[in-house]
Amino acid sequence: MGPGVVVTGLTLGALAVVSLLAFQANGAQDRAGGPKPVVSASATGGPASAAPSATPTPTAPTLPASSGTGLRVVYSVSGHYVWLIDPKKNPQVAATFPVTPGSVEPTPGSYSVYSRTASGTGTDHKAIEHVVRFAQQNGVVFGFSAAVDGSTPTVDPTGKTGGIRSSRQDAQLLWDFATNGVKVVVVA
C-alpha cells in the first residue's frame, strides 16, 4: 500500500467524521426542545443579525409599551402587527411583521398558546399551515396561521373568523417561536 492510498483513506475518514458531526449539530436544537432562533426585521424595520423577514417592514411600528414582560408574542389589534419578543436576546425583538385579521378580533389581554397544528383548513375553506391557537371567545377560536396559497382571510358569512394570517415565511417564524405555553399578549 502506497502513501497516496493512506492519505486518501485518512482524508475520506476525516470527511465522514466532519459530516456526521455537522448532521448531529443540525438537529441538536430540535432535540433540546427549546424555541428555534429566528431572525427577521427588527421593531424599527432595520435588519437583525441575518436576513430580513419575507415581508420587510421599513416602517414597522414600535413595540407597544403595554406589551407585558418575558418571552412573548405581542399582537396589536389596531395596528395588525405581531412582535416576537425574547428578553434573553439582543435585540429583544426577534421579529415583527404585519398580519391580516379575521372578521372578529380577540379581546386585549394575556393568553397562552394552547394548541398547534402543522396544517389544516381555515374557516374560509383554504388550506392553512403553522396554526398557533391562543384564545377562544364566544365560540370563536383565535390563532395565527398562513394560507398555503398566500391568501388573506375572506369574510365568513357567520361573521366568526378568528384566524390571523401572515405570510408563509412569517408564519414559520411564529411557529418556531410560539410553542405550547408561550404567552400571547393582545394589545388594543
Q: What is the pLDDT of residues 90-129, one digit of tens each?
A: 999 999 999 999 989 999 999 999 999 999 998 778 899 9
Domain presence at residue 131 = yes
Of 157 and 127, the structure prediction assigns the larger pLDDT to: 127
**Cα separation values, 15 from 6, 12, 25, 88, 125, Å:** 14, 5, 15, 36, 49
Q: What is the pLDDT of residue 140?
A: 92
184, with CB counted inside 10 A (0-12, 13-18, 19+), is buried
Q: Is residue 8 domain-resident?
A: no
The answer to whether residue 173 is domain-embedded is yes
156: confidence class by pLDDT, cuts 50, 70, 90: low
Say yes or no to pLDDT of 33 above 70: no
Cα Rg of the chain, angstroms: 21
Does residue 70 carry a pLDDT above 60? Answer: yes
Instruction: Report the alpha-carbon distance of residue 152 to residue 156 in Å, rounded.
Output: 12
User: Mean pLDDT of all residues in the chain?
Assistant: 78
Distance CA 72, CA 56 (A): 21
- Classify residue 13: in a domain, yes or no: no
Please state, in angstroms and as integers, the Cα–Cα distance from residue 23 to each residue in 15, 16, 19, 31, following that order.
12, 11, 6, 13
Overall number of domains in the chain: 1
Mean pLDDT of 71-79: 97
Looking at the predicted structure, is the pLDDT value of residue 40 above 80? Answer: no
Residue 110 within any structural domain of the chain: yes
Residue 116 belongs to some domain of the structure: yes
Using the predicted structure, report yes or no on whether residue 81 has a pLDDT greater than 90: yes
Single-letter amino acid, residue 166: S
pLDDT at 169: 97
Query: In this structure, is residue 26 part of a structural domain?
Result: no
pLDDT of residue 152: 83
Residue type for 103, please? S
Q: Domain for residue 113, yes or no? A: yes
List, in order, residues 6 or more apart from 72 with CB less than 8 Å away: 85, 182, 183, 184, 185
Does the pLDDT of residue 63 top 50, yes or no?
yes
Boundaries of domain holding 105: 35-187
**Does residue 29 carry a pLDDT above 50?**
no
Predicted confidence (pLDDT) per residue in 84-93, tens digit: 999 999 999 9
Residues in Cβ contact with 59 at an 8 Å cutoff, skipping those fewer than 6 apart? 45
The CATH number covering residue 163 comes to 2.40.440.10
- Give the model's pLDDT for residue 68: 95
Count CA atoms closer than 13 A to 144's CA, side-chain side.
Answer: 36
